Amino acid sequence: MSYNTFGRVFRFTTWGESHGPALGAVVDGCPPGIALSEADIQPWLDRRRPGQSRFTTQRREPDQVRILSGVFEGRTTGTPISLMIENVDQRSKDYSEVALAYRPGHADYAYDAKYGFRDYRGGGRSSARETAARVAAGAVARLVVPQVRVRAWVEAIGGDAVDPATFDDAAIDANPFFCPDPTAAARWEEKVDAARKAGSSLGAVVVCEATGVPAGWGAPLYAKLDSELAAACMSINAVKGVEIGDGFAAAALSGEQNADAMRPGADGPAFLANHAGGIAGGIATGQPIRVRVAFKPTSSILTPVPTVTREGSATEIATKGRHDPCVGIRGVPVVEAMVALVLADQALLHRAQCG
Ligand SMILES: Cc1cc2nc3c(=O)[nH]c(=O)nc-3n(C[C@H](O)[C@H](O)[C@H](O)COP(=O)(O)O)c2cc1C
């Protein structure tokens, strides 16, 4: 009943809180014999690490991962892989006001309503520190499906989108926004700076594409690949929308506009478009899988917002402490991890049923 586990065959469980001594993931169901060391995981964690630019939270966490189990002589043994990341830069006193009053838009009130008791330090379990554990687990998932490339980027910040015509894959890791368009990245510097200085925050859209997924992965109906991906991405903190392929825009198209027309190709059908985002009937078509994810603006902001105290009296809250001015930026490696985790699971499920 506690829902800290995701996946069917390739499963992972995350544990830990923002200001506890450590957090981590237990990955279960990983096939044996896969070469795995901390060096395979660390580069992905480094992409998510806080404090790397003025456009993210200034919390300084090295996010060094340790593998505690499930690996022997450099290879997975098929037993649970336990991954641990220590928290070293907690400042719990920054959260004294959060102990007394609820941040609108954050999980404070909802956690109190459900559990009647909450670890308010840094948001406790609702903090996106937890997503470091997902990224670590996602790095293992990538090794299960080495033929798949999972790549995400930020498409828009605060409603200001990249120009798709200038998409440059090499630019994504060359600026602090995971932005594929250097011109947009320059605009976003000013935009995010202005929001931060104003004590405000901005939302973002992240796009993720998985290439190399063979036709056939996925399942019909109750575990459609679409719904698995949507559940995975919706489970990320601050995500409020997920689209597969053209998503909501498909509802404005006619049948012939939306059709991914086919022609005979060298190796199965050649598709002339990809409105479906690489999935039909819940099953991969072999086209790139495309997911769009909407991140809301950070709720912890310095601008005072009307709220209530735990006792129910009216007050205002201005959230101090160190926060991401736009959580969607550091959401990029998290979206990639969740997509990789779903695809590793689907690869094993497909093998189990279809050989
Ligand atoms: C990478 C990442 C970093 C985040 N950083 C912050 C932050 O610094 N401050 C904050 O208030 N929320 C932050 N969030 C969002 C909260 O964790 C989230 O809004 C909160 O748990 C409530 O959950 P919900 O927005 O999914 O309803 C972050 C989310 C992600 C994905």
Using CA atoms, how far apart are residues 20 and 174, in angstroms rounded to an integer?
33
Supply the pLDDT for residue 114. 95
The binding-site residues of ligand 1, defined as CB within 6 angstroms of any ligand atom, are 57, 106-107, 126-128, 131, 236-238, 296, 298-300, 323-324, 327, 330-331, 334
Percent of the chain with pLDDT over 90: 91
Q: Does residue 22 contact residue 28 with C-beta atoms inside 8 Å? A: no
Mean pLDDT, residues 147-172 = 97
Among protein residues, the one with the nearest Cα to ligand 1's atom 7 is 323
Tell which atom from ligand 1 comes closest to the C-alpha of 295: 31
Tell which atom from ligand 1 comes closest to the C-alpha of 330: 1
Is the pLDDT confidence value at 349 over 60?
Answer: yes
**Residues 145-158: tens digit of each pLDDT:** 999 999 999 999 99
Is the pLDDT confidence value at 52 over 90?
Answer: no
Is the pLDDT confidence value at 32 over 80?
Answer: yes
Q: Does residue 345 contact residue 9 with C-beta atoms inside 8 Å? A: yes
Among protein residues, the one with the nearest Cα to ligand 1's atom 24 is 238
Percent of the chain with pLDDT over 70: 100
Supply the pLDDT for residue 295. 98
**What pTM was estimated for this model as a whole?**
0.98
Tell which atom from ligand 1 comes closest to the C-alpha of 296: 25
Question: Shortest CA distance to 47 belongs to which of 119, 152, 184?
Answer: 152
Write down how long the chain is: 355
Mean pLDDT, residues 246-268 = 97
Residue type, 162: V
Going from the C-alpha of 345 to that of each of 92, 143, 178, 225, 234, the distances in angstroms are 37, 12, 26, 11, 17
Tell which atom from ligand 1 comes closest to the C-alpha of 239: 26
Among protein residues, the one with the nearest Cα to ligand 1's atom 27 is 238
Supply the pLDDT for residue 248. 98
Supply the pLDDT for residue 95. 78
Is the pLDDT confidence value at 1 over 60?
Answer: no
Report CA(11)–ligand 1 centroid distance (Å): 23
Find all residues with CB under 8 Å of 96, minimum gap 6, and list them.
Answer: none
Is the pLDDT confidence value at 142 over 70?
Answer: yes
Is the pLDDT confidence value at 292 over 60?
Answer: yes
For 270, what's the count of Cα atoms within 13 Å in the CB-facing half-sphere? 6
Q: Does residue 32 contact residue 75 with C-beta atoms inside 8 Å? A: yes
Residue found under tokens 């998409």: 167
Mean of per-residue pLDDT scores for the chain = 96
